[in-house]
A and B are shown apart, each in its own frame.
Chain A
Amino acid sequence: TQLLEQSPQFLSIQEGENLTVYCNSSSVFSSLQWYRQEPGEGPVLLVTVVTGGEVKKLKRLTFQFGDARKDSSLHITAAQPGDTGLYLCAGALDSWGKLQFGAGTQVVVTP
């Protein structure tokens, strides 16, 4: 059972365009993380959001945690080819670090 639903599954855009990836659940998470994974490599942590309504910015990436801590979004402004990758959200299930991952959104940015 996939507790975390990511949408869209695939996104192909031109360089300079904006994009948003969504992560939704019916469960409440104590925190939520976003990772980016490139082909042949392991996921790399981008950000952790903890407080409902929290907004974090990482250069051109903006992350938001829903007020009820059930959903999150990742917005990329003026996407670049280097933003290409699989974006994964993961919600914390307990205090021991067990994470529930979404299936991922594959983002392709073409020059």
Chain B
Amino acid sequence: NAGVTQTPKFQVLKTGQSMTLQCAQDMNHNSMYWYRQDPGMGLRLIYYSASEGTTDKGEVPNGYNVSRLNKREFSLRLESAAPSQTSVYFCASSEMGYEQYFGPGTRLTVT
């Protein structure tokens, strides 16, 4: 049982490049989330999907887009990366709505 998986684990981008972070869960959870974690800031919600077919903005959505491809997969896209988007990105899923299970993270550096 893999839980929540994320790819890639590490990525370096140049300013203006685009990329998609992939997330998949095998727990049959309805809800999925994307967070970013910066030093001293805790985890901040970027976007979430309460159920398949729906997505909503979180606290820091600017510069990002998401796609809930199916119940298992939820991707995060950076269309034009900026140095301010250097961060660790976590995907999470939940069934109860509150108890979230996190992936191992993607460490992104934008130069």
Residues of A within 8 A of B (CB): 2, 4, 6, 9, 31, 33, 40-45, 48, 88, 90, 92, 95-99, 101-104
Contact = CB atoms under 8 A, between A and B. Distances in A.
A8 B108 CA distance: 28
B48 A41 contact: no
Contact of A104 (B35, B42, B58, B104): B42
A44 B90 CA distance: 12
A101 B43 contact: yes
A88 B97 contact: no
Decide if the interface of chain A is mainly helix, strand, loop or mixed. loop
B77 interface: no
B33 interface: yes
Given A31-B98, A97-B100, 8 more contacts: A9-B40, A40-B105, A42-B103, A48-B98, A88-B43, A92-B97, A97-B33, A99-B98
A101 B48 contact: no
Interface residues of B, number: 27
A45 B100 contact: yes
Nearest to A32: B98
Contacts of A88: 42-43
A2 B42 contact: yes
Nearest to B59: A100
A42 B104 contact: yes
B64 interface: no
A9 to B, nearest CB: 8
A88 B40 CA distance: 11
Contacts of B45: 98-99
B48 A98 contact: yes
23 contacts: A4-B42, A9-B40, A33-B98, A41-B104, A42-B92, A42-B103, A43-B43, A43-B102, A45-B99, A45-B101, A48-B99, A92-B98, A96-B48, A96-B50, A97-B31, A97-B48, A97-B50, A97-B96, A98-B45, A99-B43, A101-B35, A101-B42, A103-B40
